[in-house]
Structure 1
């Protein structure tokens, strides 16, 4: 197969520290090459090097050959979409670069939509990026890359944070892209997806290649995994956070896009409610409403029985601290110019009135509990991997000492070892400290391990709710059965 892009003996240094050292990777036309390894192993740095992209201030050594036309589908695609342009306008702008009249432009857009397998394209094209789910944003970015005639697609954790049904669609999308002769470089923690898609697997550890070869020889066959046994709910504590008849939309008038329709739910002290559903079902919008980040809603949100103001600007320090939100895209939530340690500590100063010295000590202790060293904590956000930054975002929320923590796909970018450590921390806080958790997730094993109850969303409505052991073990609704594979 033709080599479209490659790196040989690649070394990338940031601040004198080698994040990639001696790596060889080739992207071949029509083939899928997967880079796997723990968070911080150098996957994203290597993948971007194939596109000729490097972290700011990086020193690069080795041989690099990049493709003329490249495409990058990041783990958090909203970061590369223009928030002021509707998805249809974004795609037409790219298609128009190829020349021709309206008919030709429309035909190219339709072909890209078909190749990216965007369901309900009419609805998607009318919406702004923030009105799309993560899976929909990802497909739009993929369609943009195909419109540009990309010869290489680097897909960074494309199935992470996706439900089982959407995940199967993404696998089919990437297989179809490779079948068109495009080289696909897949960066992933999802070994089952890697086994299904990859022609070659490169395993990274500490910035070096530790293994390579066909997926079956490197990873071995998948181990049979019994369905996770959900925990049985305990006696409930007092209700801390409640939503009543919550209805929300994006936009106004004829352009309004409904997101939630009459939602009612409760989170009690020491309880975990897991929220599952298809991509675009309204899970993130619900979490943002509860945290005061989405104000265009009707209904009531109560904290300890008292109404909460709609937006964060109207909430007191105590109300802000009480309901903390951990974003699926942590990079967008950090100031890129300040050390992570300082940003975590600032939460304790701003919301709890802690002294700077005590806040710094608490920040370092919390970061250490989540697996980040003092040296890592002193870096700016750009010096951490996506998984490391996700742990820092969780630490920042915990320093507010919230009543309820809204976690939006926080395990999605983590390797298995780190994921288990984060779940252990959350379980300890729930059991010992009475922390209420709203876990927005497609990770059903995490839901089974943490959740007392599970609610299933479809088109902005709760279609099934109940104890975790019952709902995950014997689901009744068709959507829940599809999500759980039962």
Structure 2
């Protein structure tokens, strides 16, 4: 059988920095090859080479068209156009009746036709991911490149995405899966290619690599687990939420939320349940229509713009998409240090010294931090974003899916930092392993309401029934 994809001696160098060196693999029709490795290992650069983009050298042979499912579906959807209009535009580029092409793609990706009438902001994260998959399937591609297709998805949606990709593979489409999610690799992959610093350190059948990895780096990826955090030191709530209600335009996304934040609170729920909106309301990034947030019993202004520097410093937010949270034109170090200057009044030289020391402690060197954001990996930017927030010396740190899209080793390193933070932590997460190890209390949201709140040991089990 002739492979659908053949990659030979793939290389890439940017500004003297080697991104890929001698990468090679093949993919047959109806098979899944997973590319795994730490942030910066070369997975995305390899995926771009399959799409005919990027600075790669070597040989890439593809028999047929390539479809692409990006890591951040929201960035691939036009916010001012209805979904159906974009589908029709894509279908017009391919031979055949556009209506038939769209109907076939929707059926293969299991997307209800009524979603075509909506705008992207009216879709949950899981719905956005399925819509982007359907767009990629228009025209029946021979191979699908899926870049972190389950990033930031709740367990049920993750299962649905795996089922959808499995159905596509069963119809003969080859899939190149770029992911850090080893559970998804176990569920889907036939063959695994392990990348480190742009080189293939090991590859082979998925079953063999999971049971008997030969390279120490592969074993480390499989063995990495989240650390156990420092136990909570107090039962007194630092943050109280009372009767919080919030809207996105005419849609109610939070309904009368009441909860307390003591030390380590995990907020879980399906995509679209209101988790991120709750976190943004706590930080003043989204103004609620009713209710209040109290810090040590004192109400905080609902809007970020009306909070004092001390109030801004007290509640800090680390975004899921770290790259989008940095100014592309300024060095990362300058942006991290700016927090201590603006919110704590430090001199610029002192702020830079603190920033350098704390970045080094999480594995981001001064040389790396001096670069602009595009030159850092996703894992490096996420650690820099965490340090930036911690330089404010917050009372409460809100982390929105900060481990999404990170490999197991980088995730463990980041969580090791979180395990020692001296402030209260609100962890918005879909990762049950992280929640189980990190949280002393769990809040479960469903359709904008709190449906379960209590100790992690009992709330997680209760959440399974509430989220189905």
Q: In the alignment, which of 171, 193, 205 is matched to residue 184 of structure 2?
A: 193
Q: How many residues align?
A: 460
The CA deviation string for residues 146-204 of structure 1, in whole angstroms up to 9 with x for no partner, is 12543322112222332222121111111112223322110122223212211221111
Deviations 1:358-414 (A, max 9, x none): 111121222222222222212222122222221122121111221111111111222
Aligned equivalent of 1:241: 239
The alpha-carbon distance between structure 1 residues 151 and 451, as it changes in their structure 2 partners (threshold 3 A), is same
Give the match's secondary structure for 1:88: helix
Pick from 114, 117, 122: which aligns with 2:110?
A: 117
CA contact (8 A) 1:31 1:199 kept: yes
Contact 1:76 1:134 (8 Å CA) reproduced:
no
Partner of 1:36: 36
For 1:220 and 1:477, locate their aligned partners in 2 and report how far apart those are by CA, in whole Å.
29
Give the unaligned 5+ runs of structure 2: 214-218
- Residues 302 and 68 of structure 1, relative CA distance in 2, 3 Å threshold: farther
What is the CA distance between 1:257 and its match in structure 2? 2.6
Per-residue deviation, 1:476: 7.0
Residue aligning to 1:315:
307
Q: C-alpha distance in 2, partners of 1:389/1:213?
A: 31
Partner Cα distance (2:62, 2:336) in 1? 38
Partner SS, residue 3 of structure 1: coil
Say if 1:232 and 1:469, in contact at 8 Å, map to a contact too: no
Q: Point out the more displaced range, 276-285 or 294-303.
A: 294-303
Q: 1:467–1:232: structure 2 CA closer, same or farther, 3 Å change rule?
A: farther
Asked if the contact 1:33/1:202 (under 8 Å) is kept, the reply is yes
1:196-345 → structure 2 map (5 Å cutoff): 196-220=187-211, 234=232, 236-251=234-249, 256-268=250-262, 271-295=263-287, 297-345=289-337
Q: Which residue of 1 aligns with 2:466?
A: 479
Q: Which moved more, 1:40-49 or 1:234-243?
A: 234-243
Query: CA distance change for structure 1 residues 66 and 332 in 2, over 3 Å: closer, same or farther?
Result: farther
- Please give the secondary structure, in 2, of the residue aligned with 1:335: coil
Structure 1 residues 65 and 75: alpha-carbon distance in aligned structure 2, compared to 1, 3 A threshold: same
**1:419 paired to 2:407:** no
Over 3 Å counting, the alpha-carbon distance change for 1:357 and 1:230 in structure 2 is closer
Q: How does 1:338-417 map to 2 (within 5 A)?
A: 338-417=330-409
Q: Assess if the C-alpha contact under 8 Å between 1:345 and 1:362 holds in 2.
A: yes
Structure 1: runs of 5 or more not aligned: none
How many Å apart are 1:145 and its aligned residue? 0.9
SS at match of 1:336: coil
Q: For residues 411-466 of structure 1, what are the alpha-carbon distances to aligned partners after superposition, in whole Å with 9 as ceiling and x for unaligned?
A: 1222222222222211211xxx2x11110011122112221100111111111111
Task: Classify 1:319/1:273 alpha carbon distance in 2 versus 1 (closer, same or farther; 3 Å).
Answer: same
Q: For structure 1, which segment, 153-162 or 43-52, has the greater mean C-alpha deviation from structure 2 after superposition?
A: 153-162
Cα 1:232–1:63 shift into 2, 3 Å: closer
Alpha-carbon distance in 1 for matches of 2:376, 2:239: 33
Following the alignment from structure 1 to structure 2, what is the Cα–Cα distance between the partners of residues 323 and 231? Answer: 20
Per the alignment, residue 446 of structure 1 pairs with 434
CA gap of 1:67–1:241, structure 2 versus 1, over 3 A, is farther
Instruction: Output the TM-score relative to the length of structure 1.
Output: 0.87
Alpha-carbon distance in structure 2 between the residues aligned to 1:61 and 1:403: 49
Q: Please state how far the C-alpha of 1:9 moved relative to its aligned partner.
A: 0.9
User: Do the aligned partners of 2:227 and 2:419 also contact (CA within 8 Å) in 1?
Assistant: no
Could you say which residue in structure 2 is the equivalent of 1:22? 22
Deviations 1:291-343 (A, max 9, x none): 22223532222233233233322322222222211111111111222221121
Distance 1:220 1:201 in 2: 13
- Asked whether 1:84 is paired with 2:80, we answer yes
CA RMSD of aligned residues (A): 2.8
Task: Report deviation, 1:130.
Answer: 3.6
Shift of 1:237: 4.4
Partner of 1:51: 51
After TM superposition, list the pairs within 5 Å mapping 1:130-145 onto structure 2. Answer: 130-145=121-136
What's the secondary structure of 2:420's corresponding residue?
helix
Between 201-210 and 297-306, report the one with greater CA deviation: 297-306
Partners of 1:63 and 1:298 in 2: how far apart? Answer: 59
The 1-side partners of 2:306 and 2:418 are apart by: 29
Partner secondary structure for residue 130 of structure 2: helix
SS in 1 for 2:145: strand
